[in-house]
Amino acid sequence: MPLPLIAAIVAVASAALILAYLRRSRGGEATPPGETGDGPWPQLPNGAEKAEPDAVERSKQAIHGILRDISAHIRSLAGENVMYGASLDKHKASLKETARIESLQELGQALAAELESMQRSNTEYRQRLAEANEVVVRQQDDLDKLQSTLGTDFLTDVPNRRSFDEQLAGAIELAKRHGDPVSLLVIDIDHFKSVNDMHGHAAGDRVLKAVAKILNDTRRASDFLARYGGEEFVMILPQTSADQALAVADRLREKVASTRLRLENTGLNVTVSMGAGEVFPESDTKESLFARVDGALYRAKHEGRNCVRLAEVSTGQ
């Protein structure tokens, strides 16, 4: 199957997930991420509220428009594929006819003309595929931008990086204002590339959704979980010191490790590595805090995985 067609199908699947999510949000069939208790994260910030009917309707209309465009290009790609197949059949018939020519000079001229025609057909087909692929990639970017605007990761159904950045900035500001402890966890699925390589990307997506659900179900009501990107998640822990964050992280880690994930034809156990760190209100920005905790995650990955490491003390302390 041509790569542009595969990309288009992936884009359609992504859009279908978005539509399913929007239906749940509008119909109240699922609790929005970050609202599983009476903690300090009652809704997504700055226009990312999912329950706004007008915003949901606009998002649905935007997605339907993108879907229509993608469908049109899939039909175009399929049509080009059929036309190219017919063109090859015509060339094969021409070559068979050429084989009957007795004069070597005429035979050479006929073969050269046929090969030139085949090359021209192939070039045109590849150009059309490239143009269609550019459109599909652009439409996938539109879907990604829409996802970012809504503040939710549609694969795992938890808040996305945009929501996390806003929540972390607010948490650090509160820590500076009131002096309450706030900690951050950065969580990475161990050997995730191997899961994709051995079981396929569809299985990798199921693992991401399963791990997100475990983390979301196991976290405290006040904690804020988000998907940072790829196989990495983040969690903000209000009213939590570094030592307490270690205990919370270890409980989450053990829960993931002890859960058998079911794939289509087999079961799978995965583990996570984590970095943990507390905000230093006098010196930390969201960038410096994340860098420290991400450094602790890096140590955990290189010291055996399936473990938690505490971030180094801020240089400003």
What pLDDT score was predicted for residue 30? Answer: 38
Whether 248 contacts 239, CB under 8 Å: no
Within 8 A by CB and 6+ apart from 207, the residues are 189, 192, 195, 261, 263, 268, 270
User: Can you give the pLDDT at residue 245?
Assistant: 97
Instruction: Tell me what pLDDT residue 138 has.
Output: 76
Averages of pLDDT over runs of 10 residues in the chain (317 residues) are 49 54 49 38 41 60 66 64 64 62 64 72 76 73 65 88 92 91 97 92 93 96 95 97 96 97 86 97 92 97 96 68
Mapping DSSP onto H, E and C, the string for the chain reads: CCHHHHHHHHHHHHHHHHHHHHHHHHHCCCCCCCCCCCCCCCCCCCCCCCCCHHHHHHHHHHHHHHHHHHHHHHHHHHHHHHHHHHHHHHHHHHHHHHCCCCCHHHHHHHHHHHHHHHHHHHHHHHHHHHHHHHHHHHHHHHHHHHHHHHCEECCCCEECHHHHHHHHHHHHHHHHHHCCCEEEEEEEECCHHHHHHHHCHHHHHHHHHHHHHHHHHHCCCCCEEEEEECCEEEEEEECCCHHHHHHHHHHHHHHHHCCCEECCCCEECCCEEEEEEECCCCCCCHHHHHHHHHHHHHHHHHCCCCCEEECCCCCCC
Task: Give residue 265's pLDDT.
Answer: 77
The pLDDT of residue 38 is 38
Contact in structure between 186 and 289 (CB atoms under 8 Å):
no
Sequence-separated contacts (24+) of 254-258 with Cβ below 8 Å: 255/214, 255/218, 256/211, 256/214, 256/215, 257/306
Delimit the domains of the chain by residue range. 3-152, 155-310
Residue type for 196, please? N
Dist CA 44 CA 165 (whole Å)? 11
The catalytic residue positions are 231
pLDDT of residue 134: 77
What does the pLDDT read at residue 281? 87
pLDDT of residue 193: 94
Instruction: Quote the pLDDT of residue 303.
Output: 96
Quick: pLDDT tens for 136-147. Answer: 777 776 666 666
Provide the CATH topology of domain 3-152: Four Helix Bundle (Hemerythrin (Met), subunit A) (1.20.120)
Q: Specify whether the CB–CB gap between 180 and 174 falls below 8 A.
A: yes
Residue 75 phi, psi (nearest 5): -60, -40
Q: Is the pTM of this model over 0.75?
A: no
Give CATH for domain 155-310: 3.30.70.270
Q: Residue 273: what pLDDT? A: 98
230 burial class (0-12, 13-18, 19+ CB within 10 angstroms)?
A: exposed
Note the pLDDT of residue 45. Answer: 40
pLDDT at 55 (0 to 100):
60
